[in-house]
Chain A
Amino acid sequence: MGNSCAVIGVGQTYYTTKRRDVSIAGLVREAALRALEDAGLTFKDIDAVVVGKAPDLFEGVMMPEAYLADALGAAGKPMMRVHTAGSVGGSTALVGASLIQGGVHDRVLVVAFEKQSESNATWALSTHLPFNASLVVGAGGYFAPHIREYMRRSGAPEHIGTLVAVKDRQNALKNPYAHLKIPGINRQMVESTPMLWEPIRYLETCPSSDGACAMVLASESAVTGTPAWVHGTAMRSEPIFRAGRDTVNPQGGKDCAADVYRQAGIADPRRDIDVAETYVPFSWYEPMWLENLGFAAEGEGWKLTESGATALDGDIPWNASGGVLSSNPIGASGLIRFAEAAQQVRGMAGEHQVDGARRALGHAYGGGAQFFAMWVVGREKP
């Protein structure tokens, strides 16, 4: 894992459908300045900048990091651009952390964003590579069959997805940055919304958001303020078209979790982790990832959700921030998970703080549930 690395600053924009008041550069700079302010630093203190975002077609700007170099104070410094599909926000944090763990830099600014209002993500996801078949389904249409297969295998009752949709939106009411804030959100409200992709209803899916998230990462000698220490980092990828891969409970996710738990010394994630920020863009992915990440045995994840264990006052809160279901600037969504995990162990999560959180998991996935990025952060230095 290399040298010690800590999160010393976190900055987020308010997530919303359309940020008409700022350019893409203005959006990322807003998050970056907040992260720097949190760390008590300025752009001058930063050695390198790592930018992440999902496909460039989402804004219609090819490799926008070239244009964003000025707004992020990167001129004269190394700058990297990460793209690993939906997991990219998580990967961006890991590439930034790697620069510190590898002893190359002492302070790295990582920034991820999406300004979905500039284009149409479902359209951008539906075009296909030459010589390849197009599914023309967007993300919801792609993942719905996987969810139905999960329900078939596990025998989960149909209302489980609704419970997650309600729980995450209730948490969002406590997060000032969250996009979807639905006062009085309840099961009836979710169940009365249109069916988009069986079994996913409108309120069981993530919104389209504009937003950016930034973090300042530091080596041990360069820590300022309140650190969240990185206890483990891991990435895994598997081929989308491999016959026989299990897309419902992917091996890549299991291996990635095992790797990051080993580094962090976690034997039982449900016991050893205090709070998890996981990538749940469709409600049913909570029980699915509970199993994939080892918080529940296979086929048992939905029971954990149903019991209320993953609620803010449960024994293992998942997505105390409201999660991807409440805010989804796609390229940033993974980094927000990693950043919210850090805020929890820094004790700086505000109203959605989980009392006494000492260790937190940040998780992101992407592509056809084939790219995984995870980290474990803790209050104590490893």
Chain B
Amino acid sequence: MRDVAVVAFAQTHHTDHDTGVSEPELILPAIDEVREKTGLRSFGFTCSGSCDYLAGAPFSFVSALDALGAWPPISESHVEMDGAWALYEAWVRLQHGDVDTALVYGFGKSSLGNLRTIMTLQLDPYYLEPLGLDQLSMAGLQASALGAPQEELDEIVRRSRADGRANPYALDLPLEGGEPPITDGAAAVVLAAGDRAGELCANPAYIRGIAHRIEPHYLGMRDLSRSVSAADAARAAGVGKGRVEVAELHAQFAHEEIILRQALELPAETVINPSGGPLAANPVMATGLIRIGEAASHILDGRAARTVGHAAGGPCLQHNLVTVLEA
């Protein structure tokens, strides 16, 4: 595979309420920042991730193009998935060898609707959605399947929220209570291939492995206390081939962190979610991309040599993406 690296990452100062900015206005500062960091105005490929249902209208990604100033017309695509999968699509595109740079972004304003209920609309519309299980109910099912001690879960929340307070981009939240916050925010990443990576930044965070797997949708078909798809993706990405210093996990709930840690076989010395993770800022559709960006930042800043970024989608960690980044 061609060497591809994260060479720049930017995110918004996430908010727990609607600040009145449109989606293009939300994205623009993050795009500007990665452009400034890399000195690039245009990219060989662009890909984004967003979800129409957050705004309750079709084509949330259409007006985002206005934020890019996509002129002359650009080679661009969009996934109705977390921006982490947009990064995956861009990584694949860079493997062709004809383009060397890619811009990836993800964004979402969860403040505009009732996110817990909206997530219900993601379920099988015939057999599951009519049951009315919202996001918290499903998380509750998974937490009870795992059966972790309450103190362990509370400690994960406490640690995440404390770390979040130290992260200028995350929210300032109480140290108790296990719900991921409603968050508006966006993030952008620039990928560069081959020699371009070294030209664009001092310490490129090379993607040494990236893989994702989905598993059955129906909760009854899965052992909810484990994540087979995260474990498979981690093996395919080569997580275990070296020491992982930092792992940023897309764990929206404390019990998900325990399940993922187990699936990725992360040892106790691996630092988990030093950014505070999704429990400290959860801009849906950007949260997974931010995990990769945060994991990459440790390498870009020269603070670590090997990190892991993880993203999840679907009810109860149905779909998992794992990225191994190295200096």
Cα A69 to Cα B212 with chains together (Å): 13
Q: Does B141 contact A (CB under 8 A)?
A: no
Chain B residues near A326 (CB-CB < 8 A) = none
Interface residue SS majority, chain B: mixed
Contact in complex: A101, B96 (CB < 8 Å): yes
Contact in complex: A66, B74 (CB < 8 Å): no
Q: CB < 8 Å: which of B66, B76, B129 contacts A242?
A: B66
Q: CB < 8 Å: which of A64, A79, A82, A128 contacts B319?
A: A79
Q: Mind listing 24 A-B residue pairs with CB under 8 Å? A: A55-B59, A57-B52, A60-B121, A61-B129, A62-B122, A63-B80, A69-B216, A70-B218, A74-B214, A76-B215, A76-B228, A79-B212, A83-B78, A84-B61, A129-B22, A129-B63, A131-B20, A237-B76, A238-B65, A238-B74, A239-B66, A239-B70, A241-B63, A372-B73
Contact in complex: A57, B76 (CB < 8 Å): no
Cα A255 to Cα B73 with chains together (Å): 8
Contacts A62-B51, A81-B81 given: A237-B65 contact, CB under 8 Å?
yes
Contact in complex: B69, A239 (CB < 8 Å): yes
Contact in complex: B95, A102 (CB < 8 Å): yes
Size of interface on A: residues with Cβ below 8 Å to B: 71
- Nearest 9 A/B pairs, CB to CB: A102-B95, A55-B58, A2-B96, A252-B73, A66-B314, A237-B76, A83-B80, A238-B73, A62-B121
Chain B residues near A54 (CB-CB < 8 A) = 58
A-B contact count (CB 8 A): 209
Contacts A62-B121, A78-B214, A84-B78 given: A238-B52 contact, CB under 8 Å?
no
Contact in complex: B22, A130 (CB < 8 Å): yes
Chain A residues near B70 (CB-CB < 8 A) = 237-239, 242
Chain A residues near B60 (CB-CB < 8 A) = 129
Contacts A63-B80, A66-B314, A78-B211 given: A104-B73 contact, CB under 8 Å?
no
Q: Does A67 contact B (CB under 8 A)?
A: yes
Task: Output the residue of A25, A59, A62, A368 with the most chain B CB within 10 A.
Answer: A62
Q: Does A127 contact B (CB under 8 A)?
A: yes
A18 to chain B, nearest CB (A): 16
Task: Output the residue of B56, B65, B314 with the most chain A CB within 10 A.
Answer: B65
Q: Does A236 contact B (CB under 8 A)?
A: yes
